[in-house]
Amino acid sequence: MTTLGMRPTKLIYVENDSALRRILGQMLGQSPELDIVGSFGNSDEALDRSLVRKADVALIDFALDQNGLNGVELGIALRNINEYIGIVIYSQYSVSQMVARVPKDMRSGWSFFDKSADMDLDDYLSVIKKTSAGKGNWEEVSAQHGENVVSESAIFFLLTPRQRSIMSLSAQGKNPQDIALSLDLSYSYVRKELSRAYAVLLPDADQSSDLKTTAVLKFMELMRMS
Amino acid sequence: MWLRKALSIIGPYPYNPTLIFLFFTAFYFSRFIPVIIDQPKGLMRYETAAIVLSLSVIPSFFFALLAQLVQKYRRWSSSNLLFYFLEVSFGQSVIIFSAPFIRKFLKSRYDFDYQAPLTLTPGLFFGSLTIVIIALGLMHRAERTVVNRLFAANELVSKLELDRQELVRADEAVRQQTSRFLHDRVQSDLMVVAMELKATAGKSTEEIDAVIEGAISRLERTRTNDLKDLVQILAPNFAVGGLTQAIQVLSKQYDTSMKIEIQVDDKSELLDQRELLGLFRIIEQSLINSLVHGPANRTVITVNTNSLGVIELVVSDDGPGALLTNVKSGTGSAVIDSWVSILHGKKTVDTVPGHGYRLVVNFPA
């Protein structure tokens, strides 16, 4: 529903797939709340300065022409022409980490979403209009990633397999001589590897504390977590 | 023709001072062996052997030094046989000066009569010169053969390495093409078809609408679930979410088998496309190894670039590991080795049975 007296949002639409540009363009064009001021197939055409200056928001596909700018780069270029323009990036690629590609001081008024045929005109309108008003969704999107990040227990993996085997025997109460004998290594090598393992397990260790006991306890704790 | 060939066997050869030193030390030592065996067994004999060895070293060292100096400062032709003979004769004449000293020493200490034949008459000098020329010829010819073979082997290794790199590049080009086709055509067309279908919904019966709805969800499932990740694994687009996201997409495939943790520092995300692709492919193969040779419960991947610009990739797992000597070289290792060579890097593998596997790759930016 348009509010009486409110002018339609001026939209620039950039999509290199002509079929999708046509069909989505037609759908967006049905809304009286939108005025598509430019519809382009590549980044060069979209960088029309006078048009960009009068636009409120741009809907841009991330993967544009292979040798030109990508969607985020084009968004940044548009922002450099018109600092108030809202930028909406959509893509067949996952958009969750695209926010990181936008300079921090420029992220306000940026939105991202995955391309989907399930979206209705209202869904598009909602994102486009909010973004043109400066309310981008970049914070929600950037909060989505963060899976697979290295946990604290990954310190175990900083030890080499050799150090793990030495620490595991140390945790069984064996002294360096016994460990050297069991693993067919020299005594001095075992001592060196134990020191290196302690340094990995206890990077901030107080030299006055009982390094061996603390390191063995830490190693056993990590073994349980692994 | 045959004369030239025969002469080329005689010389000239580029001198190898080390070889000359070793050959003449062995030659003189063998000549003085009677001095050693004349001594009673025990410490005395060892001491004599050490002294005799030192005596053998003296002329050999001068020969080697002369060869080195001539090689470095020669102002005349190095390919002229006459000059070569003169050089060797000059070298040989060193014996004329060193022989009296050696003779005197051996006589006074061990009552041994040493006589260098070449110092006796000009005939013996030239006879000895002929033997030396032949010895040098044989020695350097053998060296030349070995060097040529080594050179050919090195050429072959370089060629194999280049061929392997070329294969990797060709493989990447095909992957890139396929990935682009899947992304630009297949995924896009599926989306367009789904949207076209959606546009027709509501214009017919409820039954047809339900069929359309089902078709749209199926198309979208294929597009977003299967194709989306496949496109990124085939040829990752690092501009989308960097190396981290590319590895995250890859690691989704292993969700049911092992937990994968990733840490890529900000500097490493700024590496160029080729370096990122190399890291990605090495990680891809390492994860396959962790799964096939394990499976490991957890694999941790870290990529860091230090202040000197050296990149370090570590892939470490808690799988069953193996004896390092039993780590076989398979297709995965070949792919890793090719990328390590393309990136001018170094690979280190560490594994102990029961304590996991750890791969470290370092390369300069």
ipTM confidence score: 0.79
Residue A1 has pLDDT above 60, yes or no: no
Predicted local confidence at residue A226, as pLDDT: 64
Each residue of A102-142: pLDDT tens digit? Answer: 998 999 999 999 999 889 899 999 999 999 999 999 988 88
- Among chain A residues, the shortest Cα distance to B266 is held by A100
Domain boundaries of chain A, sorted by first residue: 9-144, 152-225
Average confidence (pLDDT) over B266-275: 92
Q: Is B157 on the interface with A (CB under 8 A)?
A: no
The pLDDT-based confidence of B277 (bands split at 50, 70, 90) is very high
Closest CB from B198, B237, B316 relative to A117:
B198
Predicted local confidence at residue B327, as pLDDT: 67
Domain boundaries of chain B, sorted by first residue: 2-120, 166-234, 238-364
The pLDDT-based confidence of A146 (bands split at 50, 70, 90) is low
**pTM of the predicted model over 0.90:** no
Q: How many CB pairs under 8 A join A and B?
A: 129
Interface test with A, best of B179, B270, B355, B359 (most A CBs within 10 A): B355
Give the 3-state secondary structure of residue A3: coil
Mean residue pLDDT of chain B comes to 88
Predicted local confidence at residue B118, as pLDDT: 65
Is the CB of residue A58 less than 8 Å from the CB of residue A88?
yes
| Helix residue spans in chain A (DSSP H) | 18-29, 43-46, 49-54, 71-81, 121-132, 138-144, 161-171, 176-183, 187-201, 211-225
Q: Is B235 on the interface with A (CB under 8 A)?
A: no
Indicate yes or no: CB of A20 within 8 angstroms of CB of B188. yes
Q: Is B270 on the interface with A (CB under 8 A)?
A: no
Predicted local confidence at residue A2, as pLDDT: 44
Closest C-alpha among B210, B335, B221, B355 to residue B284: B335
Average confidence (pLDDT) over B36-46: 89
Predicted local confidence at residue A25, as pLDDT: 94
Helix %, strand %, coil % of chain A (to 5): 50, 15, 35
The pLDDT-based confidence of A155 (bands split at 50, 70, 90) is confident
Predicted local confidence at residue A78, as pLDDT: 96
Average confidence (pLDDT) over B84-95: 86
Average confidence (pLDDT) over A150-171: 87
Residue B263 has pLDDT above 60, yes or no: yes
Interface test with B, best of A67, A94, A144, A169 (most B CBs within 10 A): A94
Predicted local confidence at residue B19, as pLDDT: 87
Each residue of B166-197: pLDDT tens digit? Answer: 999 999 999 999 999 999 889 999 999 999 89
CATH of domain B238-364: 3.30.565.10
Residue B316 has pLDDT above 50, yes or no: yes
β-strands B310-317, A57-61 pairing = unpaired
Residue B119 has pLDDT above 70, yes or no: no
Provide, rounded to the nearest whole percent, the portion of chain A with pLDDT above 70.
Answer: 93
Residue A37 has pLDDT above 90, yes or no: yes
Average confidence (pLDDT) over A81-97: 92
CATH of domain A9-144: 3.40.50.2300
Is the CB of residue A12 less than 8 Å from the CB of residue A55?
yes
Q: What whole-number distance in Å separates Cα of residue A117 and Cα of residue B195?
A: 5
Closest CB from A17, A114, A149 relative to B262:
A149
Query: Between helices A187-201 and A176-183, what is the axis angle to 10°?
Result: 110
Mean residue pLDDT of chain A comes to 89
Q: What whole-number distance in Å separates Cα of residue B240 and Cα of residue B183?
A: 13
For residue A94, list chain B residues with Cβ-Cβ distance below 8 A.
228, 232, 240-241, 245, 249
Indicate yes or no: CB of A151 within 8 angstroms of CB of B261. yes
- Among chain A residues, the shortest Cα distance to B187 is held by A92
- Among chain B residues, the shortest Cα distance to A152 is held by B261
Q: Is B262 on the interface with A (CB under 8 A)?
A: yes
Average confidence (pLDDT) over B134-160: 89
Q: Is A76 on the interface with B (CB under 8 A)?
A: no
- Fold for A152-225, please state it: Arc Repressor Mutant, subunit A (1.10.10)
Average confidence (pLDDT) over A88-96: 90
Give the 3-state secondary structure of residue B188: helix
Average confidence (pLDDT) over A4-14: 86
Residue A143 has pLDDT above 80, yes or no: no
Closest C-alpha among B271, B14, B41, B49 to residue B143: B14
For residue A147, list chain B residues with Cβ-Cβ distance below 8 A.
248
Each residue of B210-229: pLDDT tens digit? Answer: 999 899 999 999 998 889 88
| Helix residue spans in chain B (DSSP H) | 2-10, 17-31, 33-37, 43-73, 81-92, 94-110, 122-181, 188-200, 206-221, 228-234, 238-252, 266-269, 273-292, 331-342
Predicted local confidence at residue B136, as pLDDT: 83
Predicted local confidence at residue B326, as pLDDT: 66
Interface test with B, best of A157, A168, A179 (most B CBs within 10 A): A157
Q: What whole-number distance in Å separates Cα of residue B354 and Cα of residue B296?
A: 11
